[in-house]
Amino acid sequence: MLENFVNIGVLSVVSIKCYLLFYKHRVDLIKIIAKLEEFFPKSGIDQKTFNIEKHRKKIKKFGSIINGIYLSMVIDFILIPVMYKLYGWISSYQVDWVPVHTILFPFDQKSPFVFWSLHFLYVWTASANLLTFNVTDLFFASMTNVLSMEFKILAQIIGDIDLNDDEKTEESAIKELKTFVDVHEEFNQIALELDNIFAFLLFVNVFASISFLCVYVFLFFFGISYYLLTKYFVCFIGVFIQVYVYCYFGDRLAESSNGVADGVYNSAWYKASPKFRKMALMIMKRAQREQKIRAWKFADINLNTFYWIITTAYSYYSFLVGVYEV
Amino acid sequence: MQVQQPKYTGLVADLLPNIRIMQAIGHFIFRYITGPILIRKLYSSVTLVLFLFQFVCILINLGANTDEVSELTANTITALFFTHCITKFIYVALNAEGVYRTMGIWNQSNTHPLFAESDARYHSIALSKMRRLLFLVTLTTCMIAVFWTTLTFFGDSTKLWKDKVANETIVVDIPRLMIKSWYPWNSMSGTFYYISLAFQLYYILFSMLQANLSDVLFCSWVLFCCEQLQHLKGIMRPLMELSATLDTYRPNSAALFRSISAGSKSELILNDEMENEKNSNYDMNISAIYSTKADWGAQYRAPTTLQNFNGMNGSNPNGLTKKQELMVRSAIKYWVERHKHVVRLVSAIGDTYGLALLLHMLTSTIMLTLLAYQATKIDGITVFALGVIGYLLYALAQIFLFCIFGNRLIEESSSVMEAAYSCHWYDGSEEAKTFVQIVCQQCQKAMTISGAKFFTVSLDLFASVLGACVTYFMVLVQLK
């Protein structure tokens, strides 16, 4: 019964994500990507100064981890009947071809043709689902990554602002600061729009992840189908990594938007005029109110939330164990 | 004899439908009416007596059935459910002065000719939302009463009775009524049965309406404050534009004064100017971030009335008349005074209704714990299961209603700072810049409604209540 619940749950979460991202908010996403592209440093010198390569490497690392997990999931699903048959042949038990999941099908599932076509169908749909998961997670991760990178660039620029005692640099410094405020506000608006788009999705994701985590662990230890152990293990790792990706990048965004205030402080503000200092004060005040992604008004998405998800999933797991033993 | 209706202004006029319905179902609110008060007082007192009578009957039934655990739990839940209604009824009666005072705070508000349009727009938005909320809650309550009555006629109307002599539980017939209650007459059948049925229907509908409508009154107040904060955020940008005309040369000052408070950013600036601003911001490559803004001067033909820089308006580069200058300086005063007015209203709301929320939360916590216990005994889609789920959803929905509005107030009040940052504050006068700084400093602390200082009303509260409920349920299932 729990396996069916998990299958249905995964399918519904995937369809909600698909609908939200690729239908309801498709225009907004394109707008955000266009805006982010405008502010992206394009010349080689800029890219070196701001160390774009480091941010790229990070997202590539996460991307490759996610891809690896999902690839191993698909391969595992394909090979489960084969491995079980192999296990039976080695230990000289008589085992049948086992289906990876149980469905209600009007035809005889024992015949090879039906069995292998159902198996193929399952693997195909599972890989399509996992691909959607993959895409939506990486969407969120890369957009927040680029936005965090741009906040960090802002912090670096304002830290290096040229301030001397003469009037010429004073004037240009004030002008720089004005444009800085405009760009900062642009980034804040982009972060707000991202929050709007991903809010409900993350809310559903958080609660779905908690239930999937606890059910997969429970099934791993107390499940009756031994041949599905690898499936549960790989799925658990997949959900775990997914939750971590969301929380990590949400945390990164909040931190980097906070870093703008540090960047202002890092500049040589003590050399500047009172007018500059007053403007810097306003910027710091705004930047210290960090731009965060929320799970639809309930909670912020940062690494604290990750800890909360894991602990809640564990407490639900122990509850399930308690009920099972009774 | 007074022939015409007195004209109500301000918050009272907005909430008049709510007040009228509350007065019609018996709340002790005796202001804002024409006509004799004595009859209304009599009506409210009779309602109070009837409600207390029914409540005492429920308690007597509770006391008479303490032997059997499941009956005890079910009766306690019913008693707690109607405790809400009695509490709200008596609370509003005792605290009517507080309600009048809160309504009276927004009898009149300051106005400014430049921002009157934005004010009216947000006021009408608030009004429509309040009406919609009132309609939805009243409709839902009536539907719940109907649903409850319908559910009574399904299933067995029996109770469990512990026979002390044989020391076993037997099933005893009770009258098929909505609430299990003792009556001084025999309500098993006949005319007395129908009287009891009608009385219980009246009781359920009116007491639920009473409790919910006072919550709706609270939510409407909070909604009004949120829309006022939206108005203040909306006029931030025009305010900055206006104050900039005092110090620096602006070629389109006449346009500013003409169509000022439309509230949206783009209407203040002529279209060409907006395009130029956009272009100059967007042709940034980050290494040359300091691109200059478009040159203001020559392309715009300013009206001739503004071009006379003669000695009369020497200090002002835009040639504003004395009257216009005064208007600009009073705009900041308007903003600050309106904000202070909203803060006063929010603190009055907290003082008036905070204790009621605290009592509500206390009753709800106990009720939800018992409901969690009842929920562990569900074993299928029965009348019992539907009843338990109905109680649960209703209790959670009540808490969710005021938590979501409290949360919105917190979000709105703390985002004033973000609105202040997003208008071009650096172009304003020195006066405007210090104004923005002080406003930002003050708005960092969000305006909250607290339940008599015990907790703040926000979605965190709802999440913790929900979490506690789930925890109790899990523990009780394991203990079973």
**What are B154-163's pLDDT values in tens digits?**
877 777 787 7
- The answer to whether B418 faces chain A, any CB pair under 8 Å, is yes
Is B281 in contact with A153 (Cβ distance < 8 A)? no
pTM of the model: 0.80
Q: Contacts of residue B426 in chain A, CB cutoff 8 Å?
A: 177-178, 181, 279
pLDDT in the model for residue B280: 40
Is B289 in contact with A179 (Cβ distance < 8 A)? yes
- The answer to whether B287 faces chain A, any CB pair under 8 Å, is yes
User: Can you list the alpha helix ranges (DSSP code H) found in B106-115?
Assistant: none
Q: Contacts of residue B472 in chain A, CB cutoff 8 Å?
A: none
Burial per residue of B156-195, b for 16 or more beta-carbon CB atoms within 10 angstroms, e otherwise:
eeebebeeeeeeeeeeeeebbbbbbbebeeebeeeeebee
- The answer to whether A168 faces chain B, any CB pair under 8 Å, is no
Q: For residue B296, is pLDDT > 50?
A: no
Q: For residue B349, name the pLDDT band (cuts at 50, 70, 90).
A: very high
d(CA B224, CA A289): 26
Is B407 in contact with A297 (Cβ distance < 8 A)? yes
> If DSSP codes are grouped into helix, strand and coil, which group holds residue B203?
helix
Alpha-carbon distance B421 to nearest alpha carbon in chain A (angstroms): 7
- The answer to whether A297 faces chain B, any CB pair under 8 Å, is yes
Alpha-carbon distance B220 to nearest alpha carbon in chain A (angstroms): 21
pLDDT in tens, chain A (326 residues): 788 888 888 888 888 888 888 888 889 999 999 999 988 888 888 788 888 888 889 899 999 998 899 899 889 888 888 888 888 888 877 777 777 777 777 777 678 888 888 888 888 888 888 888 888 888 899 999 999 999 999 999 888 887 776 777 888 888 888 999 999 999 999 999 999 999 999 999 999 999 999 999 999 988 888 888 888 999 999 999 999 999 999 999 999 998 999 888 888 888 888 888 888 888 998 998 888 899 888 888 988 889 889 999 998 998 888 888 76
Pick from A97, A116, A211, A194: nearest CA to A151: A194
Strands (E), chain A: none
Q: For residue B393, name the pLDDT band (cuts at 50, 70, 90).
A: very high
**Bridge partners of residue A239, in order along the sequence:** none
Q: Which of A39, A181, A319 is facing B478, going by the closest CB pair? A: A319
Pick from A198, A212, A214: nearest CA to A247: A198
- Find the farthest-apart pair of alpha carbons in chain A and give their distance in angstroms, rounded: 91
- The answer to whether A167 faces chain B, any CB pair under 8 Å, is no
**Bridge partners of residue B450, in order along the sequence:** B456
In a 13 Å sphere around the CA of A179, the CA atoms on its Cβ side amount to 28
